[in-house]
Structure 1
Amino acid sequence: MIPGTPARILLGAACLVGLIAAVAVLTGAVQVGADGPEGAPPSAAAMTGPPATAPGVVAPDPRGGVPATVLAVADPVTVDVRLEDGRALRVRALGIQPPDRCYSGQALQFARGALAGRAVTLAGDGRADRFSRALAWVTLPDGDYAVLAAEAGVVSTYAADAPPGRMPAVRSAADRARVAGRGLWGPPCVGAGGATTTPSTPSKPSTRSTAAAVSRTPS
């Protein structure tokens, strides 16, 4: 027997055991952090969960509507709100369509003055439009927003997806604004700002994010 052979054998066995243990630890760490093949790190979506702006939140409620607070106004029919449970949601107000050219700036100013920071009630059936805005009828303590905006002459009527029973009041308000020549029905627009009682296309929302609007709103 070669001198020192038992000691060398024992030392080699100890090194092999240590190597196997290290490999096992590293393998377990990869499996714990894996979110896909080869232990890739979790995606942002996996860590944060579904976005709060997922459509279908505003649905029929036994109280007659879902209370919310308007955080920001993106355009005359698109608002970011916070629901009672703390979730943020982007909403498309039903019943009206904003002008896309003449009088669009004044329409946005009216919407911000009427809605920003206000308590509202949302009534919908859980649907969303192609821009992922929850479709809802927006009511303020002093009246339906669609009626108020139509009366001011800053929007035209838009019946798509709106509750049929609510539209007569909106149309009447728009008719009064047209007869009086208010807003986009008067100079310099005289109804030329894309306003019509039966618009063919829905409004495209502003690209401002809900998250940005929430971050600028005090708790």
Structure 2
Amino acid sequence: MNKLLLHPATKPLLFVLALLPFAHLVWGAIADTLGPNPAEALIRGTGDWVLRFLCITLAITPLRELSGWNALARLRRMAGLYAFFYGAVHFLCYAWLDMGLDLADIVRDIPKRPFILVGTLALLLMASLAATSFNRAIKALGAARWKALHRLVYGIVLLGLLHFFWMRAAKHDFGEWAVYAVIVTLLLGWRLRKPVRGYFMKFGSQSAG
């Protein structure tokens, strides 16, 4: 599997595959197959893919550690950049289809609606990660500072969940949100296991002493 993941064709293939949901939505808008409310379908569809790509990004490390497929790490940057791409398209759909690209109305609307404010904050944080996702940025910031900055992804996915929760609250439909919440909890819990284990081991050794 590592050899397959290291194949030169792997990244271009995944790049194209990650664009397919976007192409499907664009084609649906052109062919008028998105249902009675195409604007809502575009906004909802792009938003769903933000959360999915954030989950994929966070899943790469646990999957790599469990499987030994270390070459998965080379795909994490692409997954994160696609999360930002779909986030930017999601915001553009809101700005265009909901607000008619009226900048003054958008600026007034964002703070009035908490779920949009939270979503916008998540997008701005994702933009900072996307802008520093390249090798030059790593060298400029230094590895430790760069890693600390990119831990913002944990806060971003939680903001994304909150955004989705508030959006679904109006319809009292939390089934899909609960699925994402469980996945994110498991992915973040995986990262907490080592610090928690280390704390209890340290606490146990101090108690024994």
TM-score scaled by structure 2? 0.24
TM-score scaled by structure 1? 0.23
Return the index of the structure with the highest Cα Rg. Answer: 1
